[in-house]
Structure 1
Amino acid sequence: MLIVSAIAAFTIATCLPAIGGIELDLAAIAKHWRNGVTKLVQLAQPNFAFVPRTLAPLLETLQMALVGAAAAALCSIPLTLWAAAPTNPNRVTRGVVRTLNNVNRAVPDLVFATVLVAMVGVGALPGVITLFLFNIGIVVKLVSEAIDAADHRYMEAGRAAGGTQFQINRATALPQAWPLFANQWLYALELNVRVSAILGIVGAGGIGRLLDERRGFYAYSDVSVIILEILVVVIAIEVLSNLLRRRLV
């Protein structure tokens, strides 16, 4: 109870500008609530005649998501093994990989996309690279921690038999880690569709560019169609991922 009270008090304190908290203007929300209602009414009236124009950008978004996830899947295997203590006893190389991955995870994906758009131009390429980095950060972090927390008696047996670290990783660690990798790769693919839609707003390709364009023209009925399409695609990928997980695990 004491902990709950302390958390509640801290939360309230962060909302008080007088002591350095954030300023929540609830009065403005109450005053301009009609603006929000108007937008919601427009979003509730999707313009399905706009669907044909969304197909090409939506396909580009799916391609970005798939390519980014596939490239990250290939590169995440050695990086994960280098980041986990049981599969990489060398503290120096393990520390370097973990540090680089933490730096990668610390940079928001929108920042990556904005910088890459400035470097390579508007289009799908900066989006794919951003998704690749985003996926690497997730997979390497989660799978390496799972490997660290697992039971490694089979690896000790391999060392006792005189196997090298590479042989032990290939023969024992990887077969045990495949379900972990598969789960995280599928999870990354699910995330990529949603993330790529956001990245398009800064020019990184996909349906996000069209979404930002229609929002800029206040065409909320068109925006509603795009949101519905993203929702359908995300649900479809999640259902497919769950089916694949049942087969793999």
Structure 2
Amino acid sequence: MIAADRSPAELAAQYPDLFRGSNAGRVKALLVAAAAIALFFFGCWYLEISIHRLVTGFKQLGWFVMLMIPPDPGTSFPTYLHAMGETLSIAFLGTLLAALMALPVSMLAAKNIIPSIFLRFPVRRFLDSVRGIDTLIWALVWINVVGLGPFAGVLAIATSDFGAFGKLFSEAMEGADRKQVEGIRAAGGSKLHEIRFGLLPQVLPVLAGQILYFIESNTRSATIIGIVGAGGIGLQLAEQIRVLEWQKVSTLILMILVAVAAIDFVSNRLRRAIIGRAGEARH
């Protein structure tokens, strides 16, 4: 009789050590749970979170939602479409620029390309430093450098994603199959040949999928940084909230949701197509 055909009671009788609980393990689990609950309540107290304020806030939120219905762009719909196009352009150009900059740098951070830790370590810490600063902070920095507008938004997204792509790309390269690289080396290929013909064909589908996901994610990020002056539909959203035009606010929110959903649909189809072709090429 195989293990899958046996009842839990039979398995417990045959393997008592596996089913017997550890008192020390139970105590540790209870201590961890108690510490987590205590930390939660301490955080609520420290941040002055109260049920009364939460209930009052939900009532206010419901009032705002009622003011947003029905959505009405008025005569500003062409302006909003132009702003939405700016937001999509910021997300696409910023992501593409970040990927192009990160690809060569990520090779310097990959262990199977640069074996020396003394060369990899500063590159990885540099990528960590860039990635550790939020896109919104980079937007504020670039607005002060190049001024207000979409150009600052593109640079903010490119800078933030440069660190993220550098980490993801280097990890993808380190996880690649070494057999293809070793085969090219055995055939007399140089180090550049190993990277070009043995490594990159394996990781490019993975990198393409990551880039498509970031384009979708950066559409939302481009909306947020637009609020601080980096152009796009976020700027329009901030202005309408400031003047309490809630029906126009709901119109802008719906436009953002539709754009994100459309990009998500297209990127999913593209990712499946890329992964499918990569699988067929390997077979």
1:130 CA displacement: 0.9
Aligned equivalents of 2:271 and 2:239: distance in 1? Answer: 37
1:120 CA displacement: 1.5
Aligned equivalents of 2:259 and 2:265: distance in 1? Answer: 10
Distance 1:230 1:8, change over 3 A: farther
Matched, 1:217 2:220: no
> For residue 25 of structure 1, what is the aligned residue in structure 2?
50
Distance 1:183 1:18, change over 3 A: closer
1:149 CA displacement: 2.8
Preserved CA contact (<8 Å) 1:109 1:130: yes
> For residue 120 of structure 1, what is the aligned residue in structure 2?
146
Aligned equivalents of 2:39 and 2:242: distance in 1? Answer: 33
Aligned equivalents of 2:86 and 2:95: distance in 1? Answer: 14
Q: Pick the aligned partner of 2:59 from 23, 34, 39.
A: 34
Aligned equivalents of 1:216 and 1:19: distance in 2? Answer: 30
> For residue 98 of structure 2, what is the aligned residue in structure 1?
72
Matched, 1:235 2:241: no
| Superimposed CA distance per residue, residues 35-66 of structure 1 (whole angstroms, 9 cap, x where no aligned partner) | 12101222342114342230111111111111
| Superimposed CA distance per residue, residues 177-217 of structure 1 (whole angstroms, 9 cap, x where no aligned partner) | 11111101101111111100000111111111111111111
Give the superposed CA RMSD.
Answer: 2.3
Structure 1: give runs of 5+ residues left out of the alignment.
Answer: none
2:217 match: secondary structure: helix
Aligned pairs (5 A) from 1:196-215 = 196-215=222-241
Aligned equivalents of 1:188 and 1:32: distance in 2? Answer: 33
2:230 match: secondary structure: coil
Preserved CA contact (<8 Å) 1:105 1:138: yes
Aligned equivalents of 1:225 and 1:24: distance in 2? Answer: 31
1:165 CA displacement: 2.3
> For residue 173 of structure 1, what is the aligned residue in structure 2?
199
Higher relative contact order (CA 8 A, sep 6+): 1
Larger Rg: 2
TM-score (structure 1 length as normaliser):
0.90
Aligned equivalents of 1:192 and 1:219: distance in 2? Answer: 26
Q: Pick the aligned partner of 1:61 from 57, 69, 87.
A: 87
Q: Pick the aligned partner of 2:184 from 143, 158, 168.
A: 158
1:8 CA displacement: 4.2
TM-score (structure 2 length as normaliser):
0.80
